[in-house]
């Protein structure tokens, strides 16, 4: 129980975790390569270094984050001192996905430990090499009645969900998110659900097309499009569509060469099932670039689809792969109609030089987070909470927000007994008029 009360113990545990990750960094990068040919550059940027920075920030701030926060008291309680205490929930379950398998298991784990919880982590079964390193690091760092990593498939996750938890933190798909929410409801267990959805990307007629294409291609080919915040589909103004598509093609070739299959900078689809789903999504579509694939290696090249029907499967589900549908529009109303035909997205991207349109978009649409004139980079700032809204998720984390997610905020009013103002006590008698005057004055 030391982890619950002793801040220094929590800090030492996180330092131990940091040392273990630093020791195994090369193995983690190798595991990610074995699991789905994740490029080393991306593994460092989005997995190991991301986690290491998160750990360092948490270690540095743990003392101040965990201190009771003094707040202004209410005059109605005069005299008092008022505080918010951060209390660990207790027994926490973390279930993580395969697409950023190290990052999305470790970052919630770091925060849960920092906040003083006991943790059970279930990493994804689809990245066995990375999950095995995670398990090794956890065993090396923590006592098993403090933190444990349980390797297993869906059946194991279902078994874990039958138990009672004090908090469940889930990252994954919308359908599984609903299963988690139902299981949690049985015991009124609080949850964070970090989910996905179709994130739109608008390119208007004022956009800097060359920069837009470069940043969209980057956000889409990262992890071979298997990123929850990847731009899912493009809405481009008719006037600039031709120029934009030409730039997209150019930028794909600049990044990955003429044959991306030969590039070491492009990951593979995670498994046969997901690869077959991608192939099904592009069937009978108007492929204007890419479309090359290899069933043996689960490869699919970055693929541009021109004007897909909004009724097609491609435009019904989150793509989660290197396919980019391009739909042209002429009026803002068309944009609105298409965006509003989906659930609230996890991310939203707008490329424009028109500040008024940017403001209009921000006030008109509800979504988790996003960028003006970039893609995915809002995740790089730990001062910004990251999470969805509606079907794209419940709750948000990163930086101090992560510590807060795993802490119950306990409100405490501390009073002395030397002064006891009698106004609030019955019998109320003639006090009603007096209290009305005081409340009006406050």
Q: How many residues bind ligand NAD (CB under 6 A)?
A: 28
| Using rule CB under 6 A, residue 47 touches ligand NAD | no
Q: What is the DSSP string of 382-407?
A: TTS-B---GGGEE--BSHHHHHHHTE
Q: 228 an active-site residue?
A: yes
Sign of CA dihedral 337, 343, 344, 345: negative
Using CB under 6 A as the binding rule, the residues of this chain from 320 to 379 that contact ligand NAD are 320, 346
Nearer to ligand NAD, 61 or 173 (CB): 173
| Using rule CB under 6 A, residue 232 touches ligand NAD | no
Helix, coil or strand: residue 109: helix
| Using rule CB under 6 A, residue 125 touches ligand NAD | yes
| Using rule CB under 6 A, residue 95 touches ligand NAD | yes
| Using rule CB under 6 A, residue 158 touches ligand NAD | yes
Task: Please identify, among the stretches 120-128, 132-140, 275-283, 292-300, the one whose residues bind ligand NAD according to the rule CB under 6 A.
Answer: 120-128
| Using rule CB under 6 A, residue 97 touches ligand NAD | yes
Determine the Cα–Cα distance for residues 317 and 342; give it in Å rounded to an integer.
10
State the residue number with the nearest CB to ligand NAD.
196
| Using rule CB under 6 A, residue 318 touches ligand NAD | yes
Determine the Cα–Cα distance for residues 255 and 218; give it in Å rounded to an integer.
8
| Using rule CB under 6 A, residue 380 touches ligand NAD | no
Helix, coil or strand: residue 66: helix
Q: How far is the CB of 381 from ligand NAD (least distance, A)?
A: 15
Nearer to ligand NAD, 158 or 330 (CB): 158
Nearby residues of 193 by Cβ (< 8 Å), 6 or more positions away? 170, 177, 180, 181, 388, 393, 394, 395
Task: Please identify, among the stretches 59-67, 149-157, 305-313, 370-378, the one whose residues bind ligand NAD according to the rule CB under 6 A.
Answer: 149-157
∠ at Cα 344 (354, 273), nearest 5°? 115
Task: Please identify, among the stretches 42-50, 156-164, 251-259, 330-338, the one whose residues bind ligand NAD according to the rule CB under 6 A.
Answer: 156-164
| Using rule CB under 6 A, residue 98 touches ligand NAD | yes
User: Cα dihedral angle (160, 21, 51, 175), rounded to 10 degrees?
Assistant: -20
Of residues 88, 385, 393, 395, which one binds ligand NAD by CB under 6 A? 393
Q: How far is the CB of 194 from ligand NAD (least distance, A)?
A: 4
CB count, 10 Å around CB of 355? 10
Decide if 219 contacts 230 (C-beta within 8 A).
yes
Q: Which of 228, 251, 318, 371 is catalytic?
A: 228
List the one residue out of 255, 180, 246 whose CA is nearest residue 225.
Answer: 255
Q: 243 an active-site residue?
A: no
Residue 199, CA distances (Å) to 192, 196, 362, 388 in order:
20, 8, 14, 11
Helix, coil or strand: residue 413: strand
Of residues 179, 287, 358, 377, which one binds ligand NAD by CB under 6 A? 179
Nearer to ligand NAD, 161 or 212 (CB): 161
Determine the Cα–Cα distance for residues 200 and 344; give it in Å rounded to an integer.
10
Q: Which of 194, 201, 251, 318 is catalytic?
A: 194
Nearby residues of 142 by Cβ (< 8 Å), 6 or more positions away? 13, 16, 17, 113, 148
Judged by the rule CB under 6 A, the positions of this chain that interact with ligand NAD are: 95-99, 104, 122, 124-125, 153-154, 157-158, 161, 171-173, 176, 179, 194-196, 228, 318, 320, 346, 388, 393
Active-site positions read: 194, 228
């Amino acid at each position: 129980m030391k982890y619950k009360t002793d801040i220094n113990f929590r800090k030492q545990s996180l330092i131990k975790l940091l040392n273990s990750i630093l020791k195994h960094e090369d193995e983690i990068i190798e595991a990610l390569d074995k699991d789905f040919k994740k490029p080393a550059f991306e593994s460092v940027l989005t997995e190991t270094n991301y986690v290491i920075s998160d750990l360092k920030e948490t270690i540095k701030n743990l003392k101040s984050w965990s201190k009771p926060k003094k707040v202004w008291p209410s005059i109605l309680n005069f005299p008092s001192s008022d505080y918010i205490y951060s209390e660990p929930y207790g027994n926490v379950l973390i279930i993580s996905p395969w697409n950023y398998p190290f990052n999305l298991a470790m970052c919630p784990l770091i925060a849960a430990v920092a906040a003083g919880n006991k943790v059970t982590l279930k990493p994804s079964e689809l990245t066995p090499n990375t999950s095995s390193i995670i398990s090794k690091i956890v065993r090396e760092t923590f006592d098993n009645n403090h933190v444990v990593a349980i390797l297993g498939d869906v059946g194991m996750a279902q078994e874990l969900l039958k138990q009672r938890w004090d908090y469940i933190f889930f990252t994954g798909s919308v359908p599984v998110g609903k299963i988690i929410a139902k299981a949690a409801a049985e015991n009124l267990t609080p949850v964070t659900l970090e989910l996905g959805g179709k994130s739109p990307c608008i390119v208007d007629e004022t956009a800097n097309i060359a920069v837009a294409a470069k940043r969209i291609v980057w956000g889409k080919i990262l992890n071979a499009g298997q990123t929850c915040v990847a731009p899912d589909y493009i809405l481009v103004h008719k006037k600039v569509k031709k120029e934009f598509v030409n730039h997209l093609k150019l930028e794909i070739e600049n990044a990955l060469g003429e044959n991306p299959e030969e590039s070491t900078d492009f990951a593979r689809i995670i498994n046969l099932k997901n690869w077959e789903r991608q192939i099904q999504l592009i069937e009978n579509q108007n492929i204007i670039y890419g479309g090359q694939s290899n069933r043996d290696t689960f490869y699919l090249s970055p693929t541009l689809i021109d004007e897909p029907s909004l009724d097609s499967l491609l435009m019904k589900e989150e793509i989660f792969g290197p396919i980019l549908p391009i739909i042209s529009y002429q009026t803002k109303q068309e944009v609105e109609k298409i965006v509003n035909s989906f659930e609230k997205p996890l991310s939203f991207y707008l490329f424009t030089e028109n500040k008024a349109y940017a403001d209009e978009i921000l006030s008109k649409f509800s979504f988790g987070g996003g960028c003006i004139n970039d893609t995915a980079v809002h995740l790089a700032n730990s001062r910004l909470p990251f999470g969805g809204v509606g079907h794209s998720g419940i709750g948000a984390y990163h930086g101090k927000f992560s510590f807060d997610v795993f802490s119950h905020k306990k409100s405490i009013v501390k009073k002395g007994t030397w002064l006891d103002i009698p106004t609030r006590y019955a019998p109320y008698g003639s006090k009603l008029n007096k209290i009305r005057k005081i409340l009006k004055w406050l």
